Amino acid sequence: MQFDWSCTTAGQACRLVSGELLVLPRLNNVSVGAGQLASGGVYSFQLRVSKDVRVGTATTAITVQDGDVPQVSISATSPVLLSSTGVLKINTGGRFIVQASSAALNVSSLSGNGTAGAGIGPSVKYAWSLVGVDVTNPALVAISPLGDTLAVSDSALTPGQTIVAGVAVTNAANATGATKMTVVVNTPPSGGVCSLTPTRGRALSTTFDVLCERWADEDLPISYQIGYYPQGQNESSSAAVALEGSRAPEQTFVLGSGNWTVVVRVLDGLGGASVPQLLPVQVDAASSSDLSGALDASAASNLLGRSSDVTRCVDGTVEGGCGRGG
């Protein structure tokens, strides 16, 4: 990947206090030394990341002021992923959690209200802001007793939503340092369908085929996770079976007798999963000739589980059916 940095202030290219233009190296991490930029200014740093034909951009603004300014950083303690376009993304299904820290503050000494105990260290206060979520809604947002951690509930996350989490840290000298993190809630693969054929067959002898078509997502590669469980139960059932995920949009397997629900999830390269596709199938008991065929060495090698389960597959008593990967 190639990293290209630029800096502007008041609509002009940034200059050092010496008057020279600020030139930033093409690295993923750059720094500007203390005292090199004039105080009182707001400096906007832009980053352009490119790889092949893919391009991503990001911008952050920094205010420079005199005095002992807390050096504040913010990091996510929940999974955050870098997309193919250079955008930080999070998946639904869990909370978005960020934590603020400062090298100039003894965070371990903070008391329950977010202020350092008397005689231990400088007083410090955290002020959080959120764009995209109501930070004052306790049903959606929680802030730790120390004040340094903010958590956004999964119920507040919508695919495609942009969330900007900002924090300002103020010390006893009334100097404030601030920073922010911008993430986008990942949109899972969409636009496709998955079908199952046939919808009725015979245990052990019928090969069932799942075909997924027309699924699209900007974060490649797309993969497919298929499983099945007895109708009337769910994926947490002890009889549920999950086949190994595959990038192949078509997979085949066999089943034991009974009524099953085949579930298909389509995942993007960041693990974002589509709404489950639920496909019902009816499987009749195997005949004696089916059992003989299943005991053939080549067929038996494809059965999931032990070959001793074959007899129980015929009468439908084996837990999880008798599937095999395609």
Q: Pick the more confident residue, 320 or 130.
A: 130
CA dist 290 and 288 (Å) reads 5
The pLDDT score that the predictor gives to residue 96 is: 96
**Strand, coil or helix: 199:** coil
Q: Pick the more confident residue, 312 or 210.
A: 210
Answer positive or negative: Cα dihedral of 232, 236, 240, 245. Answer: positive
Buried b (16+ CB within 10 A) or exposed e, 48-70: ebeeeeeebeeeeebebeeeebb
Is a pLDDT exceeding 80 seen at residue 48? Answer: yes
Is a pLDDT exceeding 70 seen at residue 278? Answer: yes
Mean pLDDT comparison of 30-34, 53-57, 222-226, highest-scoring range: 222-226
Is a pLDDT exceeding 50 seen at residue 202? Answer: yes
Q: Judge contact between 104 and 173, C-beta under 8 A.
A: no
The pLDDT score that the predictor gives to residue 65 is: 78
The pLDDT score that the predictor gives to residue 21 is: 95
Beta carbons within 8 Å of 50's beta carbon, 6+ residues apart: 1, 2, 4, 56
pTM, 2 dp: 0.70
Percentage, residues of the chain above pLDDT 70: 82
The pLDDT score that the predictor gives to residue 300 is: 41
Confidence band for 198, pLDDT divided at 50, 70 and 90: very high
Q: Pick the more confident residue, 131 or 290.
A: 131
CA dist 270 and 186 (Å) reads 8
Q: Judge contact between 80 and 270, C-beta under 8 A.
A: no
Q: Judge contact between 243 and 253, C-beta under 8 A.
A: yes
Domain 67-187: what homologous superfamily?
Immunoglobulins (2.60.40.10)
Q: Pick the more confident residue, 302 or 63.
A: 63
CA dist 240 and 227 (Å) reads 7
Q: Judge contact between 45 and 60, C-beta under 8 A.
A: yes
Mean pLDDT of 14-30: 93
Q: Pick the more confident residue, 70 or 46.
A: 46
The pLDDT score that the predictor gives to residue 100 is: 92
Q: In what order do the strands lie in the sheet with 12-13?
A: 12-13, 2-9, 42-51, 54-63
Strands 72-76 and 96-102: antiparallel
Confidence band for 312, pLDDT divided at 50, 70 and 90: very low
CA dist 287 and 291 (Å) reads 6
Q: Pick the more confident residue, 102 or 30.
A: 30
Domain 67-187 identical in fold to domain 193-315 = yes
Percentage, residues of the chain above pLDDT 90: 59
DSSP sequence for 142-158: EE-TTSSEEEE-GGG--
Residue 130 backbone dihedrals phi, psi, to 5 degrees: -140, 135
Per residue in 82-130, pLDDT (tens digit) is 888 889 999 999 999 999 987 654 433 332 333 322 222 347 889 999 9
Q: Any idea which of 154-158, 254-258, 311-315 has the lowest mean pLDDT? A: 311-315
Per residue in 214-271, pLDDT (tens digit) is 999 999 999 999 999 999 999 988 989 998 899 999 999 999 999 999 999 999 999 9
Longest dimension (CA), the chain: 91
CA dist 51 and 60 (Å) reads 21
Domain boundary assignment for the chain: 1-64, 67-187, 193-315
Per residue in 165-188, pLDDT (tens digit) is 999 988 877 888 889 999 999 999
What would the CATH number be for the domain defined by 193-315?
2.60.40.10
